[in-house]
Chain A
Amino acid sequence: MKKIKSILIANRGEIAIRISETAKKMGIRTYGLKTSKEPSAYYLQFMDEIIDLTENTTDIPEFLDIDRIINSIKKYNIDAVHPGYGYLAENPYFAQKCIDEKIIFIGPSPDSIYKLGNKTIAKQLASNHNVPLLEGSNGNIRDIKHAKQLAQKIGLPVIIKAASGGGGRGMRIVENIEDIEKMLRLAQNESEKAFADSSVFMEKYVRSPRHIEFQILADHYGNIIHLGERECSIQRKHQKLIEESPSIALNEELRTKMGESAINIAKASNYRNAGTVEFLLDESGNYYFMEMNTRIQVEHPVTEMVTGFDLVEWQIKIAQEEKLTVKQKDVKLNGWAIECRINAEDVQSDFTPYLGTIEKINISKGKNCRFDTGVTEGSNINANFDSMLAKLICYGETREKAINNSLSVLNKLQIQGIKTTIPFCKAVLNHPKFKKGDISTSFIQKEMKQLYYQETDEEMIAAFWAALNHSVQLDIEDKTFIDYEKGKNITPWLMNKRLKSL
């Protein structure tokens, strides 16, 4: 057992800050990476040491450059690396390289990452351990003819997914058989681009399911527990936008059953560290294993709020081979937590990324609220990075209280300079069906007529503000305008001549 004294955080934004805070609390020295695309980024203020990678930039993005990261770790004699989410978090080659170089990788073994990261293998693991699965291709799609046969066998609609995918990339739903060729190509292209692997598989598409995932913790000694579920049904194009824990759709019996399935997957893959098992839950309470994410997830804070666990702390403890001291029966879900993702996106024009500079940001949060942000005043939002800026996580004793708490904080959360998903989050939290808990992954598409929250007189206020500013502007122009032709009579003839010369 080796105690970790220093960590390189191979990530940026809010998660880099989040990891650093726990590490520091544990007395661990934190190192951050400074990149040329974001040399004055906010997260760097939270690091004990900064490794400057701004010189000698290469074509490989800094957070994906395995050799450079490994060299930095060795150069500064750092004990461990935390990959956060995205980037190298689920790269088995990187995890292996760390082992080879005697660096502690804070995450599971390369073997588990590989097996669970490959959806085809992961599904085989699940089916060998009696975890329910959706009917599917049982392997990758070979070609278009194979795809057509499969679609006919499984029955439409079907979904084509990247074998090494995640985050909604490389996924396409096929409703009509005529579309299958186009959709197959799109899914393959996208997964080739995103994961350097164009292999895709097919499965039955469940309409209006809920997305339920279980948080797992596993140590080196075979102890595995789950920390309950998160519901992440509010998604747009497979991107999660609002998450909560627990889920209104689960009773204690179903929670136990699904939790056991999640633990079975972890067991089957010799899992250790923190991980998440994702399921689809249909309207009749049947659930299907989707995938296991072998990293800390964006939405982990909702679990932390209802269980009182610090997941990053446990990731570090497990990585230094400490034993899980908590038993399953000691895990209690108290109250309710909701996370709203604040993204730099223009909700009114199809959630397109909105680039710019954050001029001002203001949040007044009460005690039952957490704001994990990667940006501050002056932060520049550019196209090199993900559009997620921050996460607002609010707690309440009940779901209703958590919703109300979230809304009251959202109403006071102001960000100037860019457009954000705040009006969208308000619209969801104010929606009567969301309040009732009547949600599914097609909630946005099916239930929301307007994707942003609006007060009745807002348009008139906007109209007034523009008119007032315009009138002040005209006064300024009036004062600075020197009329050289004052007193001259402008004849129609002169006027005409001027107009022509314009």
Chain B
Amino acid sequence: MIFSKSKNSKQKFISCTGNNKKYEFINPKKLYIKQGKENIPIEIITDKQGFVYIIWKKKKYLVNIIEKNQNKYEVLVNGVSYPISVETPFSYKRRKYLANNKEESKIERIQAPMPGKIVEFFVEEDQIIKEGEAVLILEAMKMQNEIISNVSGKINKINFKPDDIVMKDDILIEVEK
């Protein structure tokens, strides 16, 4: 791989993982990862079929970006998925600031974990539900899946009706905590 010379050879990137762990890389194009005080080089290879591997410390990792949206990446390493958001020092500060000042939302949205068809709702609007209670059945790939509420509260809104087809992440039910 050949990279253009960056204007700023000390440009720092902060990769934040799904569980808020952070990794810092100074100019990643230099192809090393710092561990302790040592810079350990990285090698990138592409095989005949176009699979891309990173070799680091004599270990080979298959890497692939499966989804990307602005600075948010979903990276598969050996088939395991890691959600990573890449921040600059400035955007990282803003992110932290926003996180600290975020008001906790009173509405919990129950989303479709997969595309499928709604079979039945167990609840009605205004009904009080408990955490862990099944709220509806979603049928996908011939399986009927119970969708469980993660919170206790009052059903604020039901956005679909039985037999509706829903996409992944569609908001099915809104619960007021």
Indicate whether A461 sits within 8 Å of B77 (C-beta atoms), given known contacts A414-B51, A471-B27: yes
Chain A residues whose CB sits within 8 angstroms of the CB of B51 once the complex forms: 360, 362, 414, 416
Q: Please determine whether A414 and B62 come into contact, CB atoms closer than 8 angstroms.
A: yes
Chain A residues whose CB sits within 8 angstroms of the CB of B47 once the complex forms: 362
Between A416, A452, A472, the greatest number of chain B beta carbons within 10 A of the residue's beta carbon is seen for A416
Q: Is B121 an interface residue (CB 8 A)?
A: no
Q: Please determine whether B140 and A353 come into contact, CB atoms closer than 8 angstroms.
A: yes
Chain A residues whose CB sits within 8 angstroms of the CB of B71 once the complex forms: 470
Q: Is B156 an interface residue (CB 8 A)?
A: no
Indicate whether A465 sits within 8 Å of B65 (C-beta atoms), given known contacts A348-B81, A383-B115, A471-B13: yes
Of the residues B11, B76, B79, B143, contact of A471 by C-beta under 8 Å: B11
Q: Is B80 an interface residue (CB 8 A)?
A: yes
For A384, the closest partner residue in chain B by CB is B141
Q: Please determine whether B144 and A464 come into contact, CB atoms closer than 8 angstroms.
A: no
Of the residues B59, B63, B141, B144, contact of A190 by C-beta under 8 Å: B144
Q: Give the size category of B's interface with A.
A: 35 or more
User: How many A residues face the partner with a CB closer than 8 A?
Assistant: 53
Q: Please determine whether B3 and A169 come into contact, CB atoms closer than 8 angstroms.
A: no
Interface string of B39-65 (1 = CB under 8 A from A): 000100001011100101101011111
Between B7, B85, B143, the greatest number of chain A beta carbons within 10 A of the residue's beta carbon is seen for B143
Interface of B is mostly: strand
Q: Is B176 an interface residue (CB 8 A)?
A: no
Indicate whether A186 sits within 8 Å of B146 (C-beta atoms), given known contacts A360-B51, A475-B6: yes
For B22, the closest partner residue in chain A by CB is A463
Q: Is B171 an interface residue (CB 8 A)?
A: no
- For the complex, give the distance between the alpha carbons of A304 and B116 in Å: 36
Indicate whether A462 sits within 8 Å of B59 (C-beta atoms), given known contacts A193-B139, A471-B13: no
The smallest C-beta distance from B146 to any residue of chain A, in angstroms, reads: 7
Q: Is A355 an interface residue (CB 8 A)?
A: yes
Between A and B, 20 residue pairs with Cβ closer than 8 Å are A169-B143, A182-B134, A189-B144, A193-B119, A348-B81, A352-B114, A360-B51, A362-B51, A419-B81, A458-B77, A459-B21, A460-B33, A461-B77, A462-B75, A462-B82, A463-B84, A465-B73, A466-B65, A467-B23, A470-B86
Given contacts A237-B143, A455-B61, A457-B61, 9 further A-B contacts (CB under 8 A): A193-B144, A348-B80, A362-B49, A383-B115, A383-B140, A414-B62, A458-B78, A466-B65, A468-B25
